[in-house]
Amino acid sequence: MAEKLILIIDDDEDIIEMVTLLLENEGYKISSAYNVERGIEMIREEKPDLVLLDIMFPEKKTRGFEAAAQIKELHSDLPIFAFTAINREYSFDFSKEEIQADEFINKPVATEKLLELMKKYI
């Protein structure tokens, strides 16, 4: 079985480093992007199997939830896991149903739960 490639899109280097370490340990290949534009480029170039996307991006240009919609438009069968800092709908300016993510992962990341969910998709 080929190594599965996971793409992490997050502006926090530490989170990327942390998740990379944790997932590489579980035998996944990881690439990362610090912003949405770069992330979408990488999806085209590297064709990852799953995307971990921070939807609480502070970026003004492309918000996390818009990014999810963009990615889904280009690659409708690519699973997206959305990272959120808190698990309340009020922390978004939109409702959870509007975000085109397959799963929501609450920070701090519970590794076991994340792995369990990932196995369901890839």
Partner 1 sequence: MKTFEFSNLHMVIEWFIKLRWIACAGVFLTLLVFSTLIGINLPYKVLFSANFILACANFSYYLYLMKIKRKVLTDREKKSFLHIQIISDYIILLTLVYFTGYLENPLIFYLIFHIMLTSFLFSEKKLIIYTALTVFIIIGIALLQLKKILPYYPLSPQGDSCGYFDRILIRTGGITSVLIISAYLISSIKDRIDYKGKLCEVELNRYKSLDKVKSNFILQVTHELRGPLAAVMGYHEILLKGLTGEISPKSKDILIKANRRTDNLLTMIGEMIDFAYMKSEKEILCEEKRLSMHDLISENISLIRDPAQKKGIDITFNCSKNITVHANRDLMNMILGNLLTNSVKYSKRGGSVSLACSVKKDEILLIVSDEGIGIKDDELEKIFEEFYRTRTARSLEKDGTGLGLAIVQRAVNSLHGRIQVFSQLNKGTEFHIYLPLMEKHKEAADGRKIDIDN
Compute φ and ψ for 71, nearest 5 degrees.
Answer: -65, -45
CB of 42 to partner 1, least distance (A): 22
> Which of the residues 5 through 24 are near partner 1 (CB under 8 A)?
12, 14-15, 18-19, 21-22
CB of 88 to partner 1, least distance (A): 5
Please answer whether residues 52 and 6 qualify as being in contact, where contact means their C-beta atoms are separated by less than 8 angstroms.
Answer: yes
Binding pattern to partner 1, positions 80-119, x when CB under 8 A?
-----xxxxxxx---x-----------xxx-x--------
Nearer to partner 1, 14 or 73 (CB): 14
> Which of the residues 21 through 80 are near partner 1 (CB under 8 A)?
21-22, 25
Please answer whether residues 101 and 81 qualify as being in contact, where contact means their C-beta atoms are separated by less than 8 angstroms.
Answer: yes
Quickly count: other Cβ atoms within 10 Å of residue 30's Cβ: 19
CB of 76 to partner 1, least distance (A): 26
For the chain, how many residues are written? 122
Q: Which of 106, 86, 107, 89 is nearest to 98 (CA)?
A: 89
Helix (H) or strand (E) holding 23: helix 13-24
- Interface residues with partner 1 (CB under 8 A)? 12, 14-15, 18-19, 21-22, 25, 85-91, 95, 107-109, 111
